[in-house]
Each structure stands twice: as structure tokens, then as C-alpha cells.
Amino acid sequence: MGSIILVLAALISASTVAVRGSFPRTTGELILPALNGEVTVLRNARGIPEIRADSAEDLFTAQGFVHAQERFFEMDVRRHTTSGRLAELFGDELWETDAVIRTMGWREVAEREVDALPAETRRYLDAYAAGVNQYLEQSDGSIALEYDVLGLQGLDVDPEPWTAADSVAWLKAMAWSLDGNLKDEILHGVMENEVGPDRAAEIFPTNRPDQYAPIVAHGRQTPEGFVPAGGGDQMVEEPGAVRDRVASLKAAGRAADTLGALIADPGLGADVGSNSWVVSGERTASGKPLLANDPHLAASVPSTFLQMRLRCNEVNARCPFDVGGYSFSGMPGIIIGHNSHIGWGLTVPYIDSQDLYIEHIVDGAARRAKGSAEVREETVTLKSSSGRTKDIVVRSTSNGPLISDVGLTDELRSDRGAPGSQGPEGKASEDEDSGEYAVALRWAALEPSQSIRAIFDLNRATDFDEFRDAAELLKSPSQNLVYADVEGNIGYQLPGALPKRRVGDGSKPVEAWRPGAAWDGFLAFEDLPYAYNPPEGYIVAANQQIIDAEMPEQAGNSFGFRSQPIIEALEGRRDWDARATAELQGNTYVEWAEEFVPALVAAQPLEPWVVDGQEVLSEWDLEADPESAGMAFFALTMRQVVQRTFGDEIPSELGPGQGSDQYFAVLESMMDEPQNPWWDDVNTPQTESRDQILSESLLAARKEITAVMARDPEQWSWGRLHSLTLTHQTLGTSGIAPVESIFNIEPRPVEGGSAVVSAWGWDSRGKDFSVVNGPTMKMVVDFGDFDDSLWINQSGTSGHAFHAHYADQLPDILANEHDPWPWTRAAVDAPDADGFVDEQLKLLPPG
């Protein structure tokens, strides 16, 4: 490593060309043979691009070129991820991550989707790919500093051409992070075996629409579909019994864990979600709607989204796009934003599109209620960065790939029995003690769809009907879609492939051999909830329950710790404007603390110095400001409460989530049950109660805060515990300090926290409160005047370390400050428009 550090130091200090050679060219003229006409790329003082073209194909060709200019390394990592080829870039230790993705077959599904796309969509994707490849062809070898660093470790990078499947495949990574409840299913199955069905059910509390308002307040399911008016009747499907095979479930969990945070870590609870809301003109100063959105994803540099504008010089059939907002590098179009007619925001609905099936495999066949099903095998070769290869056998049944195979360690294999073990007299049988058990993953994202079309159709939609038509195409990942338009309408639509289940509700694994265990297709789009101009004059979608009656299938399984403060604020005034809305995005009130603080203050102190902490809590205003002593002591105490209540019975590899709203909600429901068995520590001879756990937690937190900060409460502050180190998505965790210092941004104190509107969350399974996810961008769209809309990104436009726009927006988003971003051509081109036209690049066709 010493030689790497020396060479790297020489590279950085002595050769600014090596560092800056990959920076994008933003002025002058460039010839792009893939273009049919001239394209203009404007950049403002933040480096945010606006692309102007005469045809849709030229527009997307230029977008591909600009994305590659700014963030090709990020794009290359994304396609290596979705292809199961990370070991080629980062070494043999990632072969298991590659194996999990290859087992699920993300790339193969994407290629099948591309082959089935209509001609127009395929043209747009191919045009985008052509733009990326023009960048690669014109680069002089200095594509990104990351490649130079990897080259010091022997990697010789020559990126292959971009393809349409590279773009489409990233939808699988999005869906993995934002769809389903795989980890909850594993936990549910394991805990049923550990503590029985009744107690296991207690750590998966149901939503409470009487306490936390749902997204769609008026509507119900009918035989004809969802009707967005009237009340909803309670509809409950009783889950069937599940016989758990713990070793295979743990293996499946281990396999899932290898993927880590692709764009968000599913283990982080509801912080991996978003805030969004729309307010109608009856509640705004302008008389026109406002739309706000801030997705909570992995905190990283570069940030998840890249802000940009796509403008056809003349909007017509040949070039129907005039849209701006936030894009994914590697994908054409705008993911979140607005056009000249409508705007939309996205949040996670927690649609359960993933089911785990316990497969009983006997003599090479999967047991079924009637007969058996084929177990298909294929061999996949994984190539490592060292040039070595590793073969894995991928097995799948009619329910999907056996993901437990990848996560099966020797110890787990021993626990569950060797594959292919025999029954009596050496013959395979269907007896439960013969054969082997494995876990199959059935997931909507592994079934080809045309979800990529939804992006293009959203980008050019002009009204609510066209918006819903586009939403119908979005199968995976499913998202809460909030809507507003220039005519004054607001709305909401839940899209997605939501399985129809005949057995169970999807909350826990199902025995694949049970009658009716397989899915019965998907719910029709007409059955999915939507809203249009509700009487409240607002719609809030912050990952809470979707409708006030349970849906026929599981959806919206989070709580209202963030949504309810937003709703209460919106109810309180009728003069909202963009600035006031942006301020609400920075709300730091800890809603869920209301239930616990009085009990902690009243608890019996086990030592006199604990009283100091209780006094701090009694004076705390429940705001999670960086200077707050109350939030610091409360967070430490609640971590102790969660761990002491659940950590003795929940396996460490599965939780408990110490910053997860699931466990906050469970504890909230237990506060009136001081003798609930969960309070007891099974590792001690005595039986603990609620009061004892609270007292012990206060004492432990008092000792910890003294050790990490000070004995004197005057020196306590939340920001000293809760800080953000903006970490490079790959090299930021290399373990090589000089490399990390180049690509990471030093730690900064941060407000907010888990289950707070200002949702800067920490790893619920970690040992500290360091921020790992939060608002990856914030936007407020003002439909009274688009030029008054407000925007901010988590890091910056550029993906190049040392570039001025690498992390220039970070201080502002941490302070909840937003930038203007002019929309109209007059405002954009005006010389005093906040320095918008800072740089101009002409992209020209040949000849």
C-alpha cells in the first residue's frame, strides 16, 4: 500500500493535468457524428446543464454525452453493478455481490425488456447510448480520476460501448432498494421459529390511520376498481401459517446483505423513503399549486441525482420535450421534476412486490401440492479483477431464483442439512426430513416490463389523464406519484406490479408446496388507489399508509412519523409560497418522542447523575437541531431501550433496527403494557419490566454521553453525534486513507434524524449516529410562476473530485437553503438571471 500512496501523492500534487484532464469541456464547439442538428448546452453558476435541440433523438444524444462528461465513472459502476461484474473493477472480494445479482439475472431481464420496447422508446435509448459513446470516443484517456487510482492497483480500464440495456438495467437496482419487504419477511420467518407466531406479529405492528392520516383519505376498493371518493371498509386478508426453515432464511438474508446500499439500504427503515406533498391553490398565496419533494436515499458523492433541463427549441411531434428536474446518470429523461404543463414527485410506497418461498427440494425436484416442479440449473462464470474466474451454479424453481444458495456458508449448510440428502433406505422422499430446503425469490422486477417508457411519457404528459397513462407503465420500482398542473389541479397515483396472492399477505415466507402458494398475476391498474383534487386541498405522501382500509395486498407498511407533522403544518395556513414550503422540508420536530419523553423523565434514576439527563429531557423542545442536548441524550437512551428490549431475542444479523420507525412504533404500542414479555431480558434470571428497562437505559446512556462528550450537559449537542461524511460511492470506503481523503467530504454536523421530516438518518444496525442516508435533493415547484421554484442537490453536478461543482451544494442542503433555477427562456437568457448562462457549449453534426 505504501507504493500506492506515494504514486498517488505524486499524481495529485505534481500533475494537475491528470486530475483536471477528465473535467468536462463546457465552452466552444465539438463535433458529434451521431447528431443530426446543432445542440446547445448551457450551464449555470452551479454547473447545471440545460440542453436545447431540434429533435428528440438529438436531445437524448446530447444528454448521454453530458451525463458521461459529468459522471461516466458513476455510470460505469452502475452498469457493472447491474451486470454482476463489480469484481472486474474492485477485486475478488466482491464476487459474492456479483453472484447474488447474477443469480437474480438483472442484466438478462433488462435485455429482454429492451427487445420488447416499441420503436420510439428504443430510438431514444439508442440515441442516449450514442451520446455516451461519442464521449468515450472523443476522450483522450482521462475519463475519470477514479480510473487512474484503480490503475495504480493494476486495473487497465478500457470501457466498452454503452448500450440501451445498460440504461434499463439500472431500474433493477432502483427496484431492489425501493421495492418489497425481503428483509422483513426473513425476520418474520426467523422470529416465528424463535418466539412463536403471536409474539413475532407484535414486532410488525399494523398501521393506525386513526392516528396517522393515509395518503388517500377518500376512496375505497370496489369490484369495479378503486373509487377515489367516499369511505373505505376495513379489508383484511388473514395470513396463512408458515413452517420456517431458519438456516435457509438466514442464508437468503446474508445474500441480500451483500448488495449493500445501491441507491438506498433497505435495512434503514422508513428513512429510505421520501417526503412529498402537493398543495392546491386554495392554500397558497398565488392561488396555484405547490409541489414539494425530497427523496431520502444513500448519502454519497456524487449524489444520486444529476439536475438538468431538456428543452426542445420548438415543442412539436418531432420533439415533444420541455422538461427539467433530476435525472439518473446512465438513464435518459428526467426522473423527478416538471414540464410546462405538469409536475410530479416520487416517494416509496413500500409496495410488497417480493415474496420468499421455502422450497423443499427432493431428488432434484421442488415439492408441490400436486406433483413436483423442475429445478433449473445454469452455470455462470464470474470474472475477477485478478483475471481468475469462478463458476457458480444458479438454481431456480417456478417461483424464482434460489437466493439462499449464494448466502449459504459451510456453517449454515451444516445447519440445514446437505443438499440432496436421502430419505429412508437411501431413497429421496417428500418427508420433511429428507432432501433440502432453500429460499426462492419471487419479485415483480424479475418479470420483463416496459417501465422505462413511463419516464418518457411522464416527461411529455400535459394533464392528469396522460400522467396516469404514463404511471400505468411503471411496474417496478413502484412509487407514490404526486401530481400538480398549471390549471390548478393536484393528484396522486399509486402505480406498480402488485401481486395477487392466494395464500398469505406477503409479510412472511410461504411454503411453496402449499395449495395456491403461487401468485395469481397482478392487480389491475384500475384497482390501485389514486386521488384528484381532494377536499382537503393537499396530498401528503411521506411513506405512510396509502389508504385508510388495508389494500387487498400489502402496501404502505410504514408509519406517519414524518407525514403527520407535514399534514398538521399544511392544515394551519392558507398562504403557502415556495419559501415557506422549503422551510417545512427542514422541519426537525421529533414526532415519535412525544410518547417516550414523559416516561423517561418519570423513570426511577438508578444513580444520582442520571437526573441531569432527565432534566435535559424535561426541558427539550423535541427539535433535532445540531445544538440540541436533549436530542443527543434522547437518541442515546432510545438506542439502549431498543437494544435491551429486542436485542436479546432478535438475531444480531437481522436487527433490531435501533433507528427504525418499525421499532419506535412497536415500543409506542408497548408503553401501556409494562409487563409485556418483550421488556424482559431472557438472558437474566429475573423478569424485567418496562420501568426497569427505561431506568437501565437512562443510566447506560448517561455513561455513554459522558464518555463521548462530557459530564456537563452544557457541552452536549446532537451535531457531535450526528454528522455526515459525504462518502464516494466506491473508493470512499477503500480503506486507503489518502484515497478516501481525495474523494470524501469531511464530516459536518447535521440536524434531523430517523423518522423526522428533515430525515438525515443513521444506520439502524450501526454503533453510532453517523448519517448514511438523507435528502439526496430537494425541490419546490411553484405552479404560479415556475421561475420562483426552488432546488438544491446533496453534493453537486459534477462527479469529478476537485471540480468546483463536486460538492458545492452540500453546505446549502445541510442548512435547508435552496437555489432558484429559472425556467422561462426569457429568465434563463437574461444577463442578470442569477448568472445562469455561465458557460455555453455547441455540439455540432459533421459537415
pLDDT digits (tens, 9 = 90+) for 612-650: 999 999 999 999 999 999 999 999 999 999 999 998 988
Per-residue pLDDT, 296: 93
Long-range pairs of 17-24 with CB within 8 A, sequence gap ≥ 24: 17/142, 18/142, 18/145, 18/148, 19/145, 19/801, 19/802, 20/802, 21/140, 21/142, 22/139, 22/142, 22/143, 22/144, 22/145, 22/800, 23/798, 23/800, 23/803, 24/66, 24/69, 24/70, 24/798, 24/800
780: helix, strand or coil: strand
Q: Is 563 assigned a catalytic role?
A: no
User: Looking at residue 231, what is its pLDDT?
Assistant: 33
- The CA dihedral of 184, 190, 194, 200, to the nearest 10 degrees, is 30
State which H helix or E strand residue 28 sits in. strand 28-31
- What fold does the segment set 591-721 form as a domain? 1.10.1400
Contact criterion met (CB below 8 Å) for 661 and 645: no
**CA 511/CA 605 separation, integer angstroms:** 49
Query: Which residue is catalytic, options 274, 563, 697, 789?
Result: 274
What's residue 655's pLDDT? 65
Q: Which amino acid, 676?
A: N
Cell of 601: 423523565
Under-50 pLDDT residues of the chain: 1-2, 14-15, 230-244, 266-271, 411-429, 835
Which residues are part of a known binding site for Ca(2+)? 185, 352, 355
Pairwise CA distance, residues 303 & 295, whole Å: 11
Contact at 8 Å (CB) between 252 and 643? no
pLDDT for res 769: 93
What pLDDT does residue 161 have? 97
Which residues line the annotated binding site?
185, 352, 355
pTM summary value: 0.92
Please write the tens of the pLDDT for every residue from 265-307: 544 444 457 999 999 999 999 999 999 999 999 999 999 999 9
